[in-house]
Chains A and B, each alone.
Chain A
Amino acid sequence: MRRIKIGIPRALLYFWYGPAWRVFFQEMGLTPLVSGPTGKEILNAGVKAAVEEVCLPVKIFLGHSLTMQTQCDCLLTPRYISVNKGEFICPKFMGLPEMTRQAVGTGRQLIWKSDHKCHWGSLKALPREITSGYAQSRVKKSLKKAKAALEAYHLLMQGGLLPLEAETALLKGSQPSAADYEPAIGLIGHPYCLHDAFINLGTVQLLREQGFKVLVPEMFPARQIALELRDLPKPLFWTLGQRILGAFRLMWKKGVAGVVYLSAFACGPEALIGEMVKRESKAAGLPLLQLDLDEHSGEAGFITRMEAFLDLLKRKRRYSCV
Chain B
Amino acid sequence: MNRNELFFGVDVGSVSTNLVAMEPTGQVVKKVYLRTEGNPVAAVQKIFTQLGREFAKAKVLGVGVTGSGRQLIGAILGADVVKNEITAHGVAALQAEPKVRTVVEIGGQDSKIIILRDGVAVDFGMNTVCAAGTGSFLDQQANRLNLPVSELGTLALRARHPVRIAGRCSVFAESEMIHKQQMGHRLEDIVAGLCAALVRNYLNNVAKGKEIQPPVLFQGGVAANAGIKKAFEDELGFPVIVPQYYDVMGAWGAALIAREEQVNYQKTSFRGLKFCEEEIKISSFECPDCANRCEVITVMVAGAKISGWGDRCGKWQRINTEATG
Contacts and interface: CB of A to CB of B under 8 A. Distances in A.
Tell me if chain B binds chain A: yes
A304 B109 CA distance: 14
Contact of B293 (A36, A39, A282): A39
Interface of A: 36-37, 39-42, 198, 201-202, 278, 282, 285, 287, 292, 298, 300-301, 303-305, 307-309, 311-312, 315-316, 319-320
Contact of A42 (B85, B119, B121, B291): B291
B291 A41 contact: yes
Interface of B: 68, 83-87, 119-124, 126, 128-129, 209, 290-293, 312
B122 A312 contact: yes
A29 to B, nearest CB: 30
Given A39-B291, A39-B293, A301-B129, A308 B122 contact: no
A282 to B, nearest CB: 8
Contacts of A307: 83-84, 87
Contact of A312 (B83, B85, B124, B312): B124
Contact of B120 (A198, A300, A320): A320
A40 B292 contact: yes
A278 B68 CA distance: 28
A37 B313 CA distance: 13
B126 A305 contact: yes
Nearest to A312: B121
A300 B68 CA distance: 7
Nearest to A278: B209
Contacts of A311: 83-84, 86-87, 121
B107 to A, nearest CB: 12
Q: Which of B121, B126, B128 has the most CB of A within 10 A?
A: B121
23 contacts: A37-B291, A39-B291, A39-B293, A40-B293, A41-B291, A198-B292, A285-B122, A292-B128, A298-B129, A300-B68, A304-B68, A304-B86, A304-B126, A305-B86, A307-B83, A307-B84, A308-B84, A309-B124, A311-B87, A312-B87, A312-B122, A316-B122, A319-B119
A202 B86 contact: no
A192 to B, nearest CB: 18
Contact of A316 (B83, B120, B129, B291): B120
B291 to A, nearest CB: 3
Given A202-B312, A287-B122, A320-B120, A40 B83 contact: no
